[in-house]
Structure 1
Amino acid sequence: MNAKQPSGPIIIFDAECVLCSANAQFVLSHDHARRFRLASMQGEIGAALYRRFGIDPANPETMIVVEGETALRNSDAVLAIYNGLGWPWKAAFLFRLVPRFVRDPLYRFIARNRYRIFGRREACWVPAPDHADRVL
């Protein structure tokens, strides 16, 4: 790890999914504090983190946000990301008031159907050079 690389949470995402890649780009563009790092589930680090938390990287039903020994899943992961981006994105954290048993089924439906709804990239998304130090 180089001196410029943050040590904060790692977002593991599907780099072949159009929606997931767009969200990763959104995070890189709006994370002015450079808090988050990203790893694709297709890469060695992302796949290892998925396996560490009992998720099959070849068939995940959730993205995760890993911080230390903890992994947030499903809607909790999404809300933690937006909370970590600061204002105005932090306002999305109010959705935590919606019970998880309502939020998570919607999240899982979208996750299971992400390729059908949003499309799939032919190749994994690659970050711009100015964000390369934040993608593992």
Structure 2
Amino acid sequence: MTSPVLVYDGDCGFCTRSVQFIERHVPSTAEIVAYQFADLPALGVSEEQAAHEVVWIAADERTYGGAQAVAMLLIDAGGAWRVLGAIGRLPPFRWVAHGLYRLIANNRYRLPGGTPACALPADQRPTNRTRPRS
């Protein structure tokens, strides 16, 4: 890989709105792709992980999930974003970021932009029921 990849849940309206914000305001070098359209085995990411949390795959193929994936995205963006991301990697901020990420991820269907599909297990979402398995 030559550039990092950020994988998110494209079935989730809240996640999609968050990615739209990132694409407009956070100058990352990452390719941003919904896991439903990503070659997960080539990225070294399971479908279960991708459905559970956002995943950052660095150019050196190391992976980071959840709040740490967001921190890596911010570090990659540089400037003030880099400082915020670096702080998010340090204890105790790392622990707080993880707790906040899980709170948001577990309740994303209740948040603005969320959809009922966000509340369903990944294998029961409409997109996954019709998507062929590779």
Q: Taking structure 2 as the reference length, what is the TM-score of the superposition? A: 0.67
CA contact 2:74–2:81 (8 Å) conserved in 1 = yes
Q: Contact (CA 8 Å) 2:35, 2:47: kept in 1 or not?
A: no
In the alignment of these two chains, the number of paired residues is 115
Q: What secondary structure is seen at the aligned counterpart in 2 of 1:56?
A: helix
Whole-angstrom distance in 1 between the partners of 2:106 and 2:48:
14
Match of residue 122 from structure 2: none
Q: Give the Cα–Cα distance (whole angstroms) in 1 for the partners of residues 81 and 95 of structure 2.
A: 23
- Contact 2:26–2:74, Cα closer than 8 Å, also in 1: no
Q: CA deviation at 1:55?
A: 4.4
Task: Please tell me the residue identity of whatever aligns with 1:28.
Answer: E
Q: Does 1:66 align with 2:57?
A: yes
After TM superposition, give the deviation of residue 49 of structure 1 in Å: 5.7
Which one is further off, 99-108 or 69-78? 99-108
Query: Which protein has the bigger helix share?
Result: 2
Residue 78 of structure 2 corresponds to 86
1:16 to 7, 11, 14: 11
Q: 1:91 to 1:101 in 2, by over 3 A?
A: closer
**Structure 2 residues not aligned, in runs of 5+:** 118-125, 128-134
Identity of aligned residues (%): 24
Q: Deviations over 1:67-86 (max 9, x none)?
A: 23311111111111112112
Where in structure 1 are there 5+ consecutive unaligned residues? 1-5, 125-136
So what's the TM-score if we normalise by structure 1?
Answer: 0.66
- How far did 1:31 drift? 4.8
Deviation string 1:4-43 (CA, Å, 9 cap, x unpaired) is xx931100011232332223223322354x6110110121
